[in-house]
Amino acid sequence: MSVENKISTDIESYLKEHENKDMLRFLTCGSVDDGKSTLIGRLLYDSKMIFEDQLAAAESESKKYGTTGEKIDMALLVDGLQSEREQGITIDVAYRFFATDRRKYIIADTPGHEQYTRNMVTGASTADVAIILIDARKGILTQTRRHSFIVNLLGIEHVIVAINKMDLVGFSEETFKEIKSAYTALAEELGIKHTYYIPLSALDGDNVVEKSENTPWYDGKPLLELLDTMDISRKETAENFRFPVQYVNRPNLDFRGFCGTIAAGSVKVGDEVTVLPSGKTTKVKSIINAGDITEKSREVTTEEAYAPMAVTITTEEEVDISRGDMIVHTKALPRVSNSLKVMLVWMDETPMEPGTVYDIKRATTVVSGNFEHINYKVDVNTYERQSVHKLGLNDIASCKMVLTQPIAADAYKENRLTGSFIVIDRITNNTVGAGMIVGVSRREEDIQKLTTREYTDAERALNQYIRDNFPEWECKKC
């Protein structure tokens, strides 16, 4: 029975099935000429996410700006801003949506040019899967290397290599194999976990939704089927429990709950937990899963909750817990440090110079800090390491970050949500950078010693005097 048939004859059972859909977020990497927007337009069109009025609008615009002659320019269905439509390029991240019977999809559609690296990094930050488009006539280009590097840097474990414009190389198996073997080498060099290869023609729809008759030699799945069936689970419950405290909810004197989204792992009532960075311990008294709350029963609780649920936790003891703290299982503590090795992507026109103080927002924690040292900058095209003294727009570098307060620090590789941060300029308020924690810097031990030093009353008074009268020195409390 076709989907339409099912919808028209038994909508209720259709809805029942669709309650249990999964969600997958993917990123498309490629430039104007690779047919990226065309591929997205095709996915939306073939999965019936494009309505007739939108199609009519695209048709009229095709005549004005179109680049495909008689055919409707699929790219015009997705290029959003008027300035982009005029120039025929995608300059910002756009999010698109479609759904199949199995999954709901969120596409991050990002520009491919080097000057838009930051936009691609942005799109990659939330994606589970990346589709890297390669023009079959051109093979692996510099941009392919760049896109692959970013995808890997942002921790995307599944890469679909879409070898597009196969119609223009006569659907040659030879060409497909050559590109596949060249990319396999690249993936190995970078350490990309899972790769998949598909010969495509986005313009005509070959191997997009249906298997193409033009590629009888291809024994894999068409793109949409592959997306529908790939296993992207990260086994959140197997991980260590991480709960960044987002908001303290105190509706009345009897209730004090800590709201947040579980970043990893799971938690049960009665679990022994530690609050970081203070190190105080307590037990979980109750858990409210916000999703379970209804208009009628506003006080439902649950025994266990797991990532990525939005929950509210209450504790046995009255412990001082506030926004920015991290609650973790006492049996699985992360390292706590103010000196971290990070990978930093610079996103602002004004260069980053070591020593400049920025605000760092990591999960719900905001602390000031600086990048004390640039270890090396990576050339995203050649992967060569360079020694530099400052970072310009789109530069990616390994740095040492020093914060004014210690934080519970997970490596990005282990936890995307507690291992990532953004950098905010304290004057313009702009998001000027994005970073990923690689690990705790080795000098951490020394700093730990410093922070546990005992001070005399006179020293404390001096510290207080400086903090009261010279705030611009950013003196820490002792």
Partner 1 sequence: MITKERLTHLKQLEAESIHILREVAAEFTNPVMMYSVGKDSSVMLHLAMKAFAPGKPPFPMLHVDTLWKFREMIEFRDQRTKELGFDLVVHSNPKGKEMNISPFEHGSKVHTDIMKTEGLKQALNAGGYDAIIGGARRDEEKSRAKERIFSFRDKHHRWDPKNQRPELWNIYNTRINKGESVRVFPISNWTELDVWQYIYLEGIPIPSLYFAKERDVVEYEGTKIMVDDERMPEALRKKAKKEMVRFRTLGCYPLTGAINSTASTLPEIIKEMLLSTSSEREGRLIDKDQEGAMEMKKIEGYF
CB of 81 to partner 1, least distance (A): 6
Residue 209 Cβ, how far from partner 1 at the closest point, in Å? Answer: 18
Identity of the residue, 431 or 463, whose beta carbon is nearer to partner 1 in the bound complex: 431
| Shortest distance in whole angstroms from residue 238 CB to partner 1 | 9
Q: Which is nearer to partner 1, 249 or 469 (CB)?
A: 249
Q: Which is nearer to partner 1, 172 or 405 (CB)?
A: 405
Angle between helices 117-124 and 142-153 (to 10 degrees): 40
Pick from 22, 59, 353, 446 the residue near partner 1 by CB under 8 A: 22
What Rg do the C-alpha atoms of the chain give, in angstroms? Answer: 26
What contacts 356, CB < 8 A, 6 or more positions away?
Answer: 370, 371
357 binds partner 1 (CB under 8 A): no
Q: Which of 55, 65, 62, 124 is nearest to 95 (CA)?
A: 124
119 scored as a contact of partner 1 (CB under 8 A) = yes
Is 175 one of the binding residues for partner 1 (CB under 8 A)? no
Using CB under 8 A as the binding rule, whether residue 364 contacts partner 1 is answered as yes
User: Is 299 near partner 1 (CB under 8 A)?
Assistant: yes
| Phi, psi for 203 (deg, rounded to 5) | -60, -45
Residue 472 contacts partner 1 per CB under 8 A: no
Whether residue 266 contacts residue 305, with contact meaning beta carbons closer than 8 Å, is answered with yes
- Which member of 434, 437, 438, 440 binds partner 1 (CB under 8 A)? 434
Residue whose entry in the numeric block shows the structure tokens 């589970």: 128
Which neighbouring-strand residues pair with 163? 134, 199
Contact 311, 262 (CB under 8 A): yes
Tokens (6 digits) for 436: 């990923």
Determine which residue in the list 17, 95, 355, 384 makes contact with partner 1, applying CB under 8 A.
Answer: 95
Rule CB under 8 A: say whether 318 interacts with partner 1: no
* 222-249 residues labelled b (16+ CB within 10 A) or e (exposed): bbbbbbbebebeeebeebbbbbbbbeee
Closest CB 327 distance from partner 1, rounded Å: 15
368 contacts partner 1 (rule: CB under 8 A): no
Residue 1 makes contact with partner 1 by CB under 8 A: no
The reply to whether 94 sits near partner 1 by the rule CB under 8 A is yes
- Using CB under 8 A as the binding rule, the residues of this chain from 127 to 166 that contact partner 1 are none
Select from 100, 246, 375, 404 the one that contacts partner 1 (CB under 8 A). Answer: 246
Handedness of CA 79, 80, 82, 84 (dihedral sign): negative
Which range binds partner 1 by CB under 8 A, 66-74, 267-275, 290-298, 388-396?
290-298
The alpha carbon of 392 is separated from its chain's Cα centroid by a whole number of angstroms, namely 22
121 interacts with partner 1 by CB under 8 A: yes
Q: Which residue number, 105 or 197, has a Cβ lying nearer to partner 1? A: 105
What per-residue string of b and e applies to 188-221 under the rule 16 or more CB within 10 Å gives b? eebebeebbbbbbbbbbbbbbbebbebbeebeeb
- Which run of H or E residues covers position 186? helix 173-190
Q: Minimum Å distance from CB 450 to partner 1?
A: 29
**Binding to partner 1 (CB under 8 A): which residues in 248-287?**
249-252, 255, 259-261, 266
We find the least distance from the C-beta atom of residue 318 to partner 1, in angstroms, to be: 18
Question: What are the residues facing 275 on neighbouring strands?
Answer: 280, 327
Q: Which one, of 333, 324, 321, lies nearest residue 258 by Cα?
A: 321
CA distance 223 to 205: 10
Task: Return d(Cα 93, Cα 120) in angstroms, integer.
Answer: 7
Residue 394 contacts partner 1 per CB under 8 A: no
Helices (H), 280-375: none
The verdict on 242 binding partner 1 (CB under 8 A) reads no
**CB of residue 98 to partner 1, shortest distance in Å:** 8
Candidates 79, 128, 271, 410: give the one binding partner 1 (CB under 8 A): 79
Residue 57 vs 182, nearer CB to partner 1 = 57
Q: Which of 47, 88, 100, 103 binds partner 1 (CB under 8 A)?
A: 103
> What is the C-alpha to C-alpha distance for residues 436 and 79, in angstroms, rounded to an integer?
30
Q: Which of residues 213-232 bind partner 1 (CB under 8 A)?
A: 231
Identity of the amino acid at 183: Y
The reply on whether position 207 binds partner 1 by CB under 8 A is no
Position 363 contacts partner 1 (CB under 8 A): yes
Among 18, 71, 137, 385, binds partner 1 (CB under 8 A): 18
- Applying CB under 8 A, does 449 fall inside the site for partner 1? no
Q: Which residues pair with 362 in a beta bridge?
A: 365
Q: Is 185 helix (H, G, I), strand (E, B) or coil?
A: helix
Question: In the set 170, 308, 355, 392, which binds partner 1 (CB under 8 A)?
Answer: 308
Strand partners, 370: 357, 402
- Which residue of 89, 336, 393, 417 would you call a contact of partner 1, by CB under 8 A? 417
